[in-house]
Structure 1
Amino acid sequence: MQKEKLVYNWYAAMVAAGCMVLYGFDAAIFNNVQINKQWLAWFNNPSGELFGLVNTTYSIGAIISGWFIAGPTADYLGRRWAMGIGCFITIIASFVQAFSPYHGIGVFIFGRVLIGIGQGIALTAGPVYIGEITPSEIRGTVMAFWQLFYSVGSFIAYWVNYACGKHTATLGNWSWKMVIVFQILVPIIIIVQLPFLPETPRWYIQRGNKVEAATASLRRVRDSEQEVQDELLAIREAIVFEKEVISGNYWALWKDPTVRKRLLIAFVLNMGQQLTGQGTLNSYSSTIYKKVWTSTNTINLINALNATFGILFTLNAVWTVDRFGRRFLFMVGGIGMACCMLMVALVGLETPNLKGGGKSEPVGIAIVFGLFLFIFFYKPSWGATTWIWTAEVFSMNVRSQAVGMCSQMQNVAQVIFNQFFPTFYQNCGLKSFFFFMSANVVLVIFVWFFVPETKKVSLEEIDVLFGGQNHIEKGGDLLNVDDPRHAAISLDDDGLKSGTEITHVEQPTQEIREH
Structure 2
Amino acid sequence: MSILQLVEDRPTPKEVYNWRVYLLAAVASCTSCMIGYDSAFIGTTLALDSFKAEFNFAAMTAPEKDLLSANIVSCYQAGAFFGAFFAYPIGHFWGRKVGLMAAALIFTLGAGLMLGANASRGLGILYAGRVLAGLGVGAGSNITPIYISELSPPAIRGRLVGVYELGWQIGGLVGFWINYGVDVTMAPSHKQWLIPFAIQLIPAGLLLIGGVFIRESPRWLFLRGRREEAIKNLSWMRQLPEDHIYLIEEIGAIDQALEEQRSTIGIGFWKPFKAAGTNKRVMWRLFLGSMLFFWQNGSGINAINYYSPTVFKSIGVKGTNTSLFTTGLFGVVKTVVTFIWLLWLIDRVGRRLLLLVGAAGGSVCLWIVGAYIKIAQPEKTDKAEMNGGGIAAMFFFYLWTVFYTPTWNGTPWVLNSEMFDPNMRSLAQACAAASNWLWNFLISRFTPQMFTAMGYGVYFFFASLMILSIIFVFVFIPETKGVPLESMDQLFDVKPVWHAHDKIVSQLREEEEQFRHNIEESGIAANKIGAQETQVENTADEQNVKYA
Q: Is residue 2:289 matched to residue 1:266?
A: yes
Q: Distance in 2 between matches of 1:245 and 1:485?
A: 29
**Which amino acid counterpart does residue 321 of structure 2 have in structure 1?**
N
CA shift, 1:85, in A, is: 1.1
Give 5+ residue unaligned stretches, structure 2.
1-12, 495-513, 521-548
Q: Is residue 2:22 matched to residue 1:10?
A: yes
Superposed, 1:49-64 pairs within 5 Å as 49-64=67-82
CA shift, 1:71, in A, is: 1.3
Contact 1:348 1:430 in 2 (8 A): yes
Larger mean CA deviation between 353-362 and 423-432 belongs to 353-362
* TM norm structure 1: 0.87
Q: Is residue 2:200 matched to residue 1:175?
A: no
Name the structure 1 match of 2:50. Answer: 38
Picking from 151, 156, 168, the partner of 2:169 is 151
User: SS at 1:323's partner residue?
Assistant: coil
Larger radius of gyration: 2
Q: Is residue 2:367 matched to residue 1:342?
A: yes
Name the structure 2 match of 1:406. Answer: 432
Q: Is residue 2:308 matched to residue 1:282?
A: no
Larger mean CA deviation between 269-278 and 28-37 belongs to 28-37
Superposed, 1:414-429 pairs within 5 Å as 414-429=440-455
Q: Distance in 2 between matches of 1:401 and 1:308?
A: 34
Name the structure 1 match of 2:246. Answer: 227
Name the structure 2 match of 1:194. Answer: 211
CA shift, 1:104, in A, is: 1.6
Q: Distance in 2 between matches of 1:138 and 1:487?
A: 28
Contact 1:215 1:229 in 2 (8 A): no
Picking from 120, 127, 130, the partner of 2:138 is 120
Q: Distance in 2 between matches of 1:453 and 1:269?
A: 14
Contact 2:16 2:237 in 1 (8 A): no
Name the structure 2 match of 1:305. Answer: 329
CA shift, 1:326, in A, is: 1.0
CA shift, 1:358, in A, is: 7.2
User: SS at 2:117's partner residue?
Assistant: coil
Q: Distance in 2 between matches of 1:136 and 1:287?
A: 42
Q: Distance in 1 between matches of 2:231 and 2:248?
A: 8
Equivalent residue pairs, number: 474
Name the structure 1 match of 2:544. Answer: none
**Which amino acid counterpart does residue 426 of structure 2 have in structure 1?**
S
Q: Is residue 2:110 matched to residue 1:93?
A: yes
List 4+ stretches of structure 1 deviating above 3 A.
1-5, 352-355, 361-364, 483-489
* Deviations, residues 109-143 of structure 1 (Å, cap 9, x unaligned): 11111111000111111111110001001111222
Q: Distance in 1 between matches of 2:518 and 2:215?
A: 22
Contact 1:147 1:379 in 2 (8 A): no
**Which amino acid counterpart does residue 220 of structure 1 have in structure 2?**
W
Q: Is residue 2:477 matched to residue 1:451?
A: yes
How much identity, in percent, do the aligned residues show?
27
Superposed, 1:306-455 pairs within 5 Å as 306-318=330-342, 319-351=344-376, 353=378, 355-356=381-382, 360-455=386-481
CA shift, 1:250, in A, is: 2.2
Q: Distance in 2 between matches of 1:487 and 1:186?
A: 50
**Which amino acid counterpart does residue 197 of structure 1 have in structure 2?**
I
CA shift, 1:339, in A, is: 0.7
Contact 1:233 1:486 in 2 (8 A): no
Picking from 76, 81, 84, the partner of 1:66 is 84
Picking from 263, 266, 271, the partner of 1:244 is 263
Contact 2:113 2:129 in 1 (8 A): yes
Q: Distance in 2 between matches of 1:139 and 1:205?
A: 19
Q: Distance in 2 between matches of 1:484 and 1:253?
A: 33
CA shift, 1:352, in A, is: 5.3
Larger mean CA deviation between 449-458 and 283-292 belongs to 283-292
Name the structure 2 match of 1:211. Answer: 227
Contact 1:333 1:382 in 2 (8 A): yes
Contact 2:334 2:401 in 1 (8 A): yes
Q: Distance in 1 between matches of 2:116 and 2:172?
A: 22
Q: Is residue 2:124 matched to residue 1:106?
A: yes
CA shift, 1:152, in A, is: 0.4
Q: Distance in 1 between matches of 2:312 and 2:26?
A: 33
User: SS at 1:199's partner residue?
Assistant: coil
**Which amino acid counterpart does residue 84 of structure 2 have in structure 1?**
G
CA shift, 1:427, in A, is: 2.2
Contact 2:173 2:328 in 1 (8 A): yes
Q: Distance in 2 between matches of 1:262 and 1:160?
A: 39
Q: Distance in 1 between matches of 2:516 and 2:139?
A: 33
Coordinate RMSD, CA, aligned: 2.4
User: SS at 1:198's partner residue?
Assistant: coil
* Deviations, residues 158-210 of structure 1 (Å, cap 9, x unaligned): 222211111331x6111111111011111111211122221111110111x11
**Which amino acid counterpart does residue 214 of structure 1 have in structure 2?**
A
**Which amino acid counterpart does residue 235 of structure 1 have in structure 2?**
I
Give 5+ residue unaligned stretches, structure 1.
469-482, 490-515
* TM norm structure 2: 0.82
Q: 1:233 to 1:187 in 2, by over 3 A?
A: same
